[in-house]
C-alpha cells in the first residue's frame, strides 16, 4: 500500500472537526455573509446621511408614502410567510413548505414590481443619477444607490426562494437549507425597515 | 400541528403585529412637522427595537449558542460604530455652506 493510501486512510478514520460556534457550516457562512452585507448597507446609509446632513437645500420630494407603506406591509408579511414555510419544513410538510415559499416569492415579486414603479415615478419627475429638479445632484445618486442595492437583494432573494423551494420539493434540499434562505430573507426585510425612515420618511414634504 | 409548533407561529405572529405597529408609528411620525434631530432620534429608537425583534425572533439568533450571539453582536456593533466617524465633518460642511465661509 502506498504512502498516499495510508495517509488517506488515516484521514478518513480521524474524527471530523466540529464546526466553529457549534452551528452548521452553511448557516455560519450565511451569517458571515450577512455581517459583511451589513457593512455595505451601512456604508451606503452613512454616505447618504452624510450628504443629506451637509446640504442645507436637500430636497424633500415625497408628498405621499402610501406605496412605500404598502411595500413595507408586503415585506413584513413575506417575512412571516417565510417563517411559516420554515416551520412546515421542520415538520417535514413538503407541500405546505413549498406553498408558503411560493407565497413568499410572490410577495417578493410584487414588492419588486412596486419598487420599479416607484422608480419610474421618480424618473418621470426628472430625478436621474446626476440631476434632479430640486437641489443637490447627489440626491439622485444616493436615492438610486440605496434603494437599488435593496432592490437587487430582494430580486435575487426572490429567485433564491423559488430555486430552494423547487429543490426542496425535489428532495435535493432539506429544512436546513430552508432555514438559511429564511435568514437571508429576514435580513433583506430588516434592511428595508431601515431604508424607509432614512430615505423616505426623513424626506417628506412638510 | 403540535402545540409547540403552533405556539412558535403565534410568537412569530405577535412579533409581526408588533413590527407593523412600530412601522405604523414611524409613518405617523414622518407626517408630523417636527425638527430633524427629533425625527432622527425617534426613527433610530424604533429601528433599534425592530432590529432586536427581527434578529432575535425572525432570524432565530436568540436560539443559537451564546458565544455565537456575542460574536455576531459585538463584531457588527463594532463595525457600525467605526463607520460613524464622519459626522463631525458633515456638520462642518453644513456650517460652511450656510455661512458662505470657505477655508483656504
Distances (CA, A) of B45 to A194, B22, B30, B49, B66: 11, 10, 14, 6, 25
Q: What is the pLDDT of residues A120-142, one digit of tens each?
A: 999 998 888 888 888 788 889 99
The arithmetic mean of pLDDT across residues B43-60, rounded, is: 94
* Residues A47 and A156 sit within 8 Å (Cβ to Cβ): no
Measured between CA atoms, the residue of chain B closest to residue A85 is B9
Instruction: Nearest by CB to A197, from B47, B75, B79: name it.
Output: B47
pTM score of the predicted model: 0.86
Query: Alpha-carbon distance B16 to B57, whole Å?
Result: 10
Work out the minimum CA distance from B65 to partner chain A, whole angstroms. 7
Cell readout for B58 is: 425572525
pLDDT at A9 over 50: no
Interface residue A163 vs chain B (CB under 8 A): no
Give the whole-number percent of chain A exceeding pLDDT 90: 64
> Would you kindly state where each structural domain of chain A is located, as residue ranges?
23-54+67-203
* Residues B86 and A46 sit within 8 Å (Cβ to Cβ): yes
The arithmetic mean of pLDDT across residues A102-122, rounded, is: 96
The CATH number of domain A23-54+67-203 is 1.20.120.80: yes
Burial of residue A31 (CB within 10 Å: 0-12, 13-18, 19+) is: buried
Q: What is the ipTM of this complex?
A: 0.85
Contact A202 B98 (CB under 8 A): no
> Would you kindly state where each structural domain of chain B is located, as residue ranges?
1-63, 64-104
Measured between CA atoms, the residue of chain A closest to residue B63 is A23
The arithmetic mean of pLDDT across residues A143-160, rounded, is: 95
Contact B54 A197 (CB under 8 A): no
Instruction: Nearest by CB to A87, from B5, B46, B84: name it.
Output: B5
Contact B30 A197 (CB under 8 A): yes
* Residues A75 and A192 sit within 8 Å (Cβ to Cβ): yes
Q: Which of B8, B11, B30 to mutate to test the interface with A (most CBs of A within 10 A)?
A: B30
Interface residue A13 vs chain B (CB under 8 A): no
Question: How is chain A classified by DSSP, letter by letter?
Answer: --HHHHHHHHHHHSPPPPPGGGS-HHHHHHHHHHHHHHHHHHHHHHHHHHHHHT-TT----BS--HHHHHHHHHHHHHHHHHHHHHHHHHTT-HHHHHHHHHHHHHHHHHHHHHHHHHHHHHHHTT--SS--SSS-THHHHHHHHHHHHHHHHHHHHHHHHHHHHHHHHTTSS-HHHHHHHHHHHHHHHHHHHHHIIIIIGGGB--
b/e code B12-46 from CB counts within 10 Å (16+ = b): beebbeebeebbeebbebbeeeeeeeebeebbeeb
Higher pLDDT, B94 or A82: A82
Q: Which of A19, A76, A104, A195 to mutate to test the interface with B (most CBs of B within 10 A)?
A: A76
* Residues B54 and A183 sit within 8 Å (Cβ to Cβ): no
Instruction: Nearest by CB to B94, from A53, A189, A197: name it.
Output: A53
Work out the minimum CA distance from A35 to partner chain B, whole angstroms. 6
Work out the minimum CA distance from B25 to partner chain A, whole angstroms. 11
**Which of A146, A141, A127 has its CA nearest to residue A200?**
A146
Neighbours of B80 (CB within 10 A): 14
If pLDDT is split at 50, 70 and 90, which confidence band does B3 have?
low
The arithmetic mean of pLDDT across residues A38-64, rounded, is: 85
Residues 6+ apart with CB under 8 A from A195: A45, A146, A147, A150
Measured between CA atoms, the residue of chain A closest to residue B91 is A54
CB pairs under 8 A between A and B: 124
pLDDT at B4 over 70: no
Amino acid at each position: 500500500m502506498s504512502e498516499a493510501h495510508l495517509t488517506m486512510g488515516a484521514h478518513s478514520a480521524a474524527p471530523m472537526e466540529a464546526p466553529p460556534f457549534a452551528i452548521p457550516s452553511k448557516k455560519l457562512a450565511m451569517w458571515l455573509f450577512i455581517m459583511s452585507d451589513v457593512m455595505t448597507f451601512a456604508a451606503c446609509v452613512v454616505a447618504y446621511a452624510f450628504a443629506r446632513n451637509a446640504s442645507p437645500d436637500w430636497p424633500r420630494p415625497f408628498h405621499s408614502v402610501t406605496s412605500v407603506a404598502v411595500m413595507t406591509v408586503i415585506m413584513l408579511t413575506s417575512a412571516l410567510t417565510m417563517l411559516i414555510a420554515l416551520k412546515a419544513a421542520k415538520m417535514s410538510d413538503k407541500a405546505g413548505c413549498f406553498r408558503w415559499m411560493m407565497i413568499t416569492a410572490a410577495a417578493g415579486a410584487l414588492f419588486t414590481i412596486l419598487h420599479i414603479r416607484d422608480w419610474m415615478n421618480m424618473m418621470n419627475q426628472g430625478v436621474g443619477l446626476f440631476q434632479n429638479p430640486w437641489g443637490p445632484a447627489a440626491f439622485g445618486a444616493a436615492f438610486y444607490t440605496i434603494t437599488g442595492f435593496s432592490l437587487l437583494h430582494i430580486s435575487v432573494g426572490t429567485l433564491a426562494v423559488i430555486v430552494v423551494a423547487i429543490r426542496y420539493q425535489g428532495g435535493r434540499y432539506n429544512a436546513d437549507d430552508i432555514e438559511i434562505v429564511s435568514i437571508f430573507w429576514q435580513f433583506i426585510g430588516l434592511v428595508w425597515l431601515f431604508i424607509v425612515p432614512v430615505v423616505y420618511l426623513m424626506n417628506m414634504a412638510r | 400541528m403540535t402545540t409547540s409548533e403552533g405556539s412558535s407561529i403565534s410568537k412569530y405572529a405577535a412579533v409581526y403585529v408588533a413590527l407593523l405597529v412600530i412601522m405604523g408609528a414611524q409613518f405617523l411620525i414622518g407626517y408630523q412637522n417636527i425638527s430633524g434631530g427629533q425625527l432622527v432620534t425617534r426613527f433610530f429608537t424604533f429601528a433599534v427595537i425592530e432590529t432586536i425583534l427581527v434578529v432575535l425572533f425572525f432570524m432565530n439568533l436568540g436560539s443559537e449558542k451564546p458565544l455565537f450571539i456575542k460574536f455576531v453582536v459585538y463584531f457588527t456593533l463594532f463595525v457600525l460604530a467605526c463607520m460613524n466617524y464622519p459626522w463631525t465633518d458633515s456638520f462642518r460642511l453644513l456650517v460652511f455652506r450656510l455661512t458662505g465661509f470657505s477655508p483656504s
